Amino acid sequence: MAIEQIKMPQLGESVTEGTINQWLVSVGDKVSKYDPLAEVTTDKVNSEVPSSFDGVIKELIAQEGETYEVGAVILTIETEGGGSAAPEAPAAPAAEASATSAASTPAPAAAAPVAKTDNGGARYSPAVLKLSQEHGIDLSQVTGTGAGGRITRKDLNALIESGNIPKAGAAPAAPVQETAAAPAAPAPQAAAPKAAAATNVPVVPGDIEIPVSGVRKAIAANMLKSKHEAPHAWTMIEVDVTNLMSFRNSLKADFKKKEGFNLTPFAFFVKAVAQALKEFPMINSMWAGDKIVQKKDINLSIAVATEDALYVPVIKNADEKTIKGIAREIGELAGKVRSGKLSGADMSGGTFTVNNTGSFGSIQSNGIINHPQAAILQVESIVKRAVVMDNGMIAVRDMVNLCMSLDHRVLDGLVCGNFLKRVKEILENTSKENTSVY
């Protein structure tokens, strides 16, 4: 027999952590290679983690609802053979064996869940916070044995077993050394759990409390990271797309009949953005601490919403595709999102985001940048408005606002203004005479 580890996989480029949304197996279940083991949520995608082995589930190390770094061990599987075992030690007498604690055979080490802070500002993993609340442990009085003095779940379990639980005002407790020489002392009656730190929202009869899903937690974490790290600036430009809409409307019926999918106005906007990014490559950049990385490929993330989540699949090398090719990919990616078939590969590699907020009737919005990209463009609703023309005449035109949020560490107003000006020129010159969708 051999014990094999399953680790948190990297489910997309720049993905560094994932949340165990739901276990699909239990301890003792027999699994085959490629069987799904868990549903994992990241800030980019929902995905299933497959088994890499045939065997029996030995231990579920990760907890549902907790977030773990890529590479953390989340469960172990017992397989037939295939592993090198250490030489067997002589069998211990029955009495001694019964006195040996389970801790004498260490479980495979899993990386700690992503740390959270308590009210004092110190950082602890969710498991440590939960355990301390359940047993009334004052974490400020605990000396950790982890890297850099970090308190681990193992530290707290040892304290609980020893009965030496530090309360507020006590001297810091030294780490408890585990021993197999004698049975652990029985754990004392657990103290009443303390309330977890949370926003105090009054709930009255008739209110509905909705649990936060793994997808929603991942979205919240990424949006918070983006807003905290990137100094957002915002700018907007108004575009006359009358000729574009006339051209598209003249084609859409025959195009749908011939190609089998829709020719949407959004495809024209995505193509214009891709073209302008080639001319202003600084917009297609990312902040990397001590340097700015200007990306070679133009991979456009497009926002697609479901009832309870927002996904950003990617059109790879959008600058090399025709309007027809972009329209096809928009339809295919949106279909994958709504059918739950979007993969990690579909979500990876994005360098700039284009969001079709106008599909909801919005005429002006301030988007949060899709970290670690440097900007996001919101395409608002196309509306008919009376506009004063160059000759002084008033005409009804199809107008749209393009709203851009930018990371001011990477981009300044000049380059963003020129970029938007170029997008405007491309769109306003889109017509039957100047443009081909093929």
pLDDT tens-digit readout, 141-170? 888 776 556 677 677 777 887 777 776 555
Please check whether residue 376 is in contact with residue 300, taking contact to mean a CB–CB distance below 8 angstroms: no
pLDDT band at 299 (very low <50, low <70, confident <90, very high): very high
Tens digits of per-residue pLDDT, 180-235?
444 444 443 433 334 345 678 899 999 998 888 777 777 888 888 899 999 999 99
β-partners of residue 108 are none
Task: Let me know: does 187 contact 162? Beta carbons within 8 Å.
Answer: no
* Separation of alpha carbons 40 and 336, rounded Å: 18
Comparing 309 with 317, the larger pLDDT belongs to 317
Q: Any catalytic annotation for residue 412?
A: yes
Residues 206/207/210/211 CA torsion (nearest 10 deg): -110
CB 263 within 8 A of CB 254: no
408 catalytic? Reply is: yes
Mean pLDDT of 61-69: 88
- Sort residue 318 into left (φ over 0), alpha (ψ -120 to 50) or beta: alpha
Task: Tell me which of 254, 297, 308, 412 is the catalytic residue.
Answer: 412
Residue 169: what pLDDT? 52
Reported pTM? 0.63
